[in-house]
Amino acid sequence: MKKIPASKSFKTKKESSESFKKRFSALQNLPRFFRLVWETNKLLTSGNIIFRLIKSGLPLLMLYIGKEIIDEVVRLINHRTDSHDYLWMLVGAELGLTIISDLLNRCINLFDSLLGDLVANKTSVDLVHHAAKLDLYQFENPVFYDKLERARRQTAGRTVLLSQTLAQIQDILTLLSLGAGLVVFNPWLILILIIAVIPSFLGETHFNERTYSLTRSWTPERRELDYLRYLGSSAETAKEVKVFGLENYLARRFKELSEEYYLANRKIAISRAGWGYFLSAIGTVAYYAAYVFVLIQTLGGLITIGTMTFLSGSFQRMHGMLQAIMSRFSGIAENALYLKDLFDFFEIEPTILANENGHTILRPIKKGIVFENVSFKYPESDFWAIRNLSFTLNPGEKLALVGENGAGKTTLVKLLACLYKPTEGRILIDGIDILDYNLADLRANIGIIFQDYIRYEMTVSDNIAVGDIDNINDKEAIQIASDMSMANEVIERLPNGFEQVLGKRFKEGTELSGGQWQKIALARAYMRDAQLIVLDEPTSALDARAEHKVFQRFSELIHGKMAVLISHRFSTVRMADRILFMEKGKLIEYGSHEELLNLDGKYAELFQLQAQGYL
Ligand SMILES: Nc1ncnc2c1ncn2[C@@H]1O[C@H](COP(=O)(O)OP(=O)(O)OP(=O)(O)O)[C@@H](O)[C@H]1O
């Protein structure tokens, strides 16, 4: 079994004090959090605060009435003929306050939970919007991914922080009011009280901080655990797990890793329980010392029995409350740290900007698309995925990209869609760098179907409409796109036609074959009114005849538009006006099919090889 890395289980003093400071500075995130809560729902937020303010004054009032009741009862025992009216009035008032207090509790809980759900929903929506703005390479970076993962966890978890902080404010107000009552009768008790809770507070703070550092430093492993759980128990992976008999391997890997995490966690949990018990025992002893002090004063006739119950009652409540406030305080600081992860994520800026005021693409494109000495390295990679690539895609031209696996074909398409920035060189549309165009307009003009397109487990209609999501309700356009891509042949055979849910995740879902999925995905390309259509091996799962037919149709249907086709089938590739043959990121041959055959180079060699396979 792997040993727990030292850095994960133990930390130096310096690290501890640094993260301690970090915890407290994380509290600075609270105002931003409350702004978010306020913006989410002003009515619920203000209602919640008002109810809590009222509630915070009730304990003092109740204790005072309790004291008055006892003193009145004692007085009436000694003066039996006096009227009982004041006593019943006090009892009535106590009953009324109890009923109001219950009602306030219900309202506060209700508002907390409604507000918590709304905040979680709003944060999730903001998260999706922000994630969509970020660069693709950021998603491929593990550090970023961990941040995203932590942020995603925060969206639901912050509900606790909301009620914690509001309860904290409420308890502090109650404490102040009770404290004022206590000061009037005996100021010394306050001092005992403070001494009693400080050890617990320090203990709580220390352990919360250790838990946070542990959780944080284990984010990559927790991500791996989630991934292993997914591999071992999801519909998508079940087929392969069964045929390769991976269950034991996955379960073992999960067990080993989860056990390491458990052990690290257990260590903290045990010392937390031990120290927590010891430190709160100090508080209990102090409480009893104060209690004895009050009893002695009562026996000496210095205070009434009512005052004794008031003092011991408020002391007990304040003790409990102070302890709750202190332990909640470190809880809040801890949650605020997690909150920092969420806000940090929102602070990550994309490098490819939306460029809302950028150029818009001419319709139709006049001079075409020019790759000008473009080179590209993936971030964190030290080899060139694309190297010194220069070519022009003329208006109306159909270009095919050919090359062995890893030659850089998909990378070229990603650069064209502005998913990455070229490391060197420029890509121009009508003479303007694509980075200077309005990003949304640029992408609206390009329709790309990637080889790893998404199989949306939604209706057929939605699966096609994602190609032009603004027209999701345009049934006619969806129908036409499906006719064009030959998906109609698939759809006709589905029990619910266009409304058929695809995939096996949801009830009544139907699974399609690889080729059938591809025909549906291909319809997305016809949905949008793009000037350039890029198909990155979207027909690899079609049989040879179907692929030939699809491409023949494609050439006819997109007549006049620009297209880039990536395929490993030469029968398809030869339909293009021009073919670019790529090797290790470089363009090594280009021309029409006939020209490349006459050249008798790499293209011709691969073509012959494939042709022989069919002989
Ligand atoms: N996200 C990525 N991060 C780092 N390197 C990558 C990434 N995607 C691709 N590469 C590398 O870039 C090179 C070009 O990959 P690309 O996907 O463009 O090839 P391709 O020609 O489309 O291959 P195929 O025919 O297999 O689809 C490969 O060596 C690959 O390992």
User: 474-490: per-residue pLDDT in tens?
Assistant: 999 999 999 988 899 99
Q: Looking at ligand 1, which residue's alpha carbon is closest to its atom 18?
A: 408
Instruction: Please choose from 411, 564, 566 the residue to mutate so as to test ligand 1's pocket, defined by most ligand atoms within 8 A of CB.
Output: 411
Q: How far is CA 548 from the centre of its chain?
A: 43
Question: Which pTM does this prediction carry?
Answer: 0.72
Confidence of residue 611 (pLDDT cuts 50, 70, 90): confident
**255-259, 418-422, 543-547: least confident range:** 543-547
Instruction: Please choose from 138, 409, 449, 587 the residue to mutate so as to test ligand 1's pocket, defined by most ligand atoms within 8 A of CB.
Output: 409
> Tokens 């070519």 sit at which residue?
391
Task: From the CA of 401, give the closest atom in ligand 1.
Answer: 21
**280-284, 293-297, 411-415: least confident range:** 280-284
Confidence of residue 58 (pLDDT cuts 50, 70, 90): very high
DSSP codes joined into one string, 124-149 = HHHHHHHHHHS-HHHHT-HHHHHHHH
DSSP codes joined into one string, 371-416 = EEEEEE--TT--S-SEEEEEEEE-TT-EEEEEESTTSSHHHHHHHH
Which pLDDT value is given to residue 5?
Answer: 46
- The pair of structure tokens assigned to 406 is 């890893």
Q: How far is the CA of 382 from the centre of ligand 1 (A)?
A: 13
Confidence of residue 425 (pLDDT cuts 50, 70, 90): very high
Q: What is the mean pLDDT of residues 574-595?
A: 92
On the question of pLDDT at 453 being above 80, the answer is: yes
Q: Where in the chain is the domain with CATH 3.40.50.300?
A: 358-445+530-615
Measured between alpha carbons, how far is 369 from 362 in angstroms, rounded to an integer? 12
- Give ∠ CA 499-488-541 in degrees, rounded to 5: 105
Which pLDDT value is given to residue 116?
Answer: 87
Q: How many CB atoms lie within 10 A of CB 342?
A: 25
pLDDT tens string 343-393: 888 888 888 888 889 999 888 889 999 999 999 999 888 899 999 999 999
Measured between alpha carbons, how far is 187 from 42 in angstroms, rounded to an integer? 40
DSSP codes joined into one string, 156-198 = HHHHHHHHHHHHHHHHHHHHHHHHHHHHHH-THHHHHHHHHHH
For the chain, percent of residues with pLDDT exceeding 70: 94
Q: In the predicted model, what is the mean pLDDT of the chain?
A: 86
Q: Looking at ligand 1, which residue's alpha carbon is closest to its atom 7?
A: 378
Architecture of domain 358-445+530-615: 3-Layer(aba) Sandwich (3.40)
Q: Looking at ligand 1, which residue's alpha carbon is closest to its atom 26?
A: 405
| DSSP helix/strand/coil, 425 | strand
On the question of pLDDT at 461 being above 70, the answer is: yes
Q: How far is the CA of 141 from the centre of ligand 1 (A)?
A: 16
- The pair of structure tokens assigned to 474 is 């345009």
Q: Looking at ligand 1, which residue's alpha carbon is closest to its atom 3?
A: 378
Which pLDDT value is given to residue 2?
Answer: 44
DSSP state, 563?
A: E
ipTM, two decimals = 0.97
Which pLDDT value is given to residue 376?
Answer: 96
Q: How many CB atoms lie within 10 A of CB 421?
A: 14
Confidence of residue 158 (pLDDT cuts 50, 70, 90): low
- Dihedral angle, C-alpha 152, 153, 159, 163, nearest 10 °: -130
- The pair of structure tokens assigned to 613 is 């396979």
Measured between alpha carbons, how far is 90 from 72 in angstroms, rounded to an integer? 9
Q: How far is the CA of 584 from the centre of ligand 1 (A)?
A: 10
Q: Is residue 399 within 8 Å of residue 577, measured between CB atoms?
A: yes
Confidence of residue 614 (pLDDT cuts 50, 70, 90): low
Measured between alpha carbons, how far is 33 from 27 in angstroms, rounded to an integer? 10
Measured between alpha carbons, how far is 602 from 582 in angstroms, rounded to an integer? 10
Task: From the CA of 537, give the closest atom in ligand 1.
Answer: 27
Task: From the CA of 568, give the closest atom in ligand 1.
Answer: 25
Which pLDDT value is given to residue 20?
Answer: 57
Q: How far is the CA of 568 from the centre of ligand 1 (A)?
A: 15
Measured between alpha carbons, how far is 81 from 591 in angstroms, rounded to an integer? 118
- Among residues 447, 478, 450, 476, the alpha carbon closest in space to that of 462 is found at 478
Q: What is the mean pLDDT of residues 29-52?
A: 91
pLDDT tens string 546-565: 777 777 777 777 777 899 99
Q: Where does 26-347 sit in CATH, by number?
A: 1.20.1560.10
Pocket of ligand 1 (CB under 6 A): 140, 378, 381, 385, 403, 405-411
Q: Looking at ligand 1, which residue's alpha carbon is closest to its atom 16?
A: 408
Distances (CA, A) of 6 to 11, 17, 19, 264, 269: 8, 18, 17, 11, 18
Q: How far is the CA of 540 from the centre of ligand 1 (A)?
A: 17
Which pLDDT value is given to residue 11?
Answer: 43
Which pLDDT value is given to residue 572?
Answer: 79
Q: What is the mean pLDDT of residues 487-516?
A: 90
Which pLDDT value is given to residue 154?
Answer: 66
Confidence of residue 280 (pLDDT cuts 50, 70, 90): confident
Q: Where in the chain is the domain with CATH 1.20.1560.10?
A: 26-347
Task: From the CA of 136, give the closest atom in ligand 1.
Answer: 1
Instruction: Please choose from 374, 410, 537 the residue to mutate so as to test ligand 1's pocket, defined by most ligand atoms within 8 A of CB.
Output: 410
Q: How far is the CA of 407 from the centre of ligand 1 (A)?
A: 7
pLDDT tens string 379-404: 888 899 999 999 999 999 999 999 98
> Tokens 């060189």 sit at which residue?
425
For the chain, percent of residues with pLDDT exceeding 90: 39
Position with higher pLDDT, 571 vs 485 = 485
DSSP state, 436?
A: G
The answer for residues whose C-beta is within 8 angstroms of residue 463's C-beta and 6 or more apart is 455, 456, 502, 520, 521, 523, 524
Distances (CA, A) of 436 to 360, 393, 413: 9, 19, 18
Which pLDDT value is given to residue 18?
Answer: 56
